[in-house]
Homo-oligomer: A and B are copies of this chain.
Amino acid sequence: MNRVPPAAEPVAGKPSRREQILAAAAELFARHGFHGVGIDDIGSAVGISGPALYRHFRSKDAMLGEMLTSISEVLLDGGQARVDAASGPEKTLGDLVRFHVDFALDNPALITVQERNLGNLTDPDRRKVRALQRRYVETWVEVIRAAVPAAGEPTARAAAHAVFGLINSTPHSRHLDRDQMADLLTGMAMAALVQLSDRVH
C-alpha cells in the first residue's frame, strides 16, 4: 500500500516525464513563441509523438500555466528566503540581485518564456501568475527602499522592473562565461540601484 502519488513529483531526483516535457516545451516556447509551437513539436522533442502528451497534461495551455506558475513560485520563495536571512539593507539587496542573476543564468529558457508569454495564459492562470509576480516585485521594492531610503515607492518599483530587464537580458547575449557574466550583471545592477540615492526624489 501507500504507492507513490500518480500525478505528483517523484520521490527522488529523477527528472520525471512531466518535468522533462516542461523543459523541452520551455525551450521551444522561448524560441518560437507559444503559438509558434505545435503539440507534435513538443512531443518529438522528448521522443514521443503528439497526442501522447495528453497522458501528462490536460492541455497545451496547462503546460504553459504550470511552467509559469512554478517559475513565479521559485522566484518568490527564493526572494523571501534571502530577505528572511537579513543581514543589513545593502547586503540583503546584494543577495537578492545575486539570486535573480543566478536564476536567470541557469534558466534562460524559462526567463524568456515568462517575459514573452504571459499574455498567452488562460485568465485564471494569468491571475495566479500575476499575483505571485506582484508579491515578488513587492519584496524587491521593500528591500530597495531599505537600502536606498531616498527613493520613493514609484521610483523603487520602476527601478526594480528596470533591473529585471537588465538581468533577464542574459539569454540574448552569451559572450562571457557563466561566472564572468554573473559578476558583470550583478555589478551593473548594484551600480544602477545605489545611484538612486544621488537623485532628487
Give chain A's interface residues, CB within 8 Å of chain B: 31-36, 115-117, 119-120, 154-155, 157-159, 161-170, 172-173, 175-176, 180-181, 183-185, 187-189, 191-196, 198-199, 201
How many copies of the chain does the oligomer comprise?
2
Chain B min CB distance to A41 (Å): 13
Given A36-B119, A116-B33, A167-B165, is A158 in contact with B181 using a C-beta cutoff of 8 Å?
Answer: yes
Question: Nearest residue in B to A174 (C-beta to C-beta)?
Answer: B158
Which 9 interchain pairs have the tightest Cβ spacing? A165-B169, A35-B35, A161-B173, A191-B195, A188-B192, A166-B166, A154-B175, A165-B165, A192-B192
* Chain B residues in 8 Å Cβ range of A169: 161-162, 164-166
Closest B residue to A37 using CB positions: B35
CB closest chain-B residue, reference A156? B175
Task: List chain B residues, Cβ under 8 A from A181.
Answer: 158
Q: Tell me the bound Cα distance from A169 to B169 in angstroms.
A: 10
Q: Which residues of B contact A199 (CB under 8 A)?
A: 183-184, 187
> Least Cβ distance of A161 to chain B in Å?
4
| Partner pick for A173 among B162, B192, B198, CB 8 A cutoff | B162
Which of these, B35, B168, B188, contacts A195 with CB under 8 Å?
Answer: B188
Residues of B within 8 A of A196 (CB): 187-188
Question: Which residue from chain B places its CB closest to the CB of A116 in the assembled complex?
Answer: B116
What is the bound-complex CA distance between A196 and B189, given in angstroms? Answer: 11
Q: Which residues of B contact A183 (CB under 8 A)?
A: 199
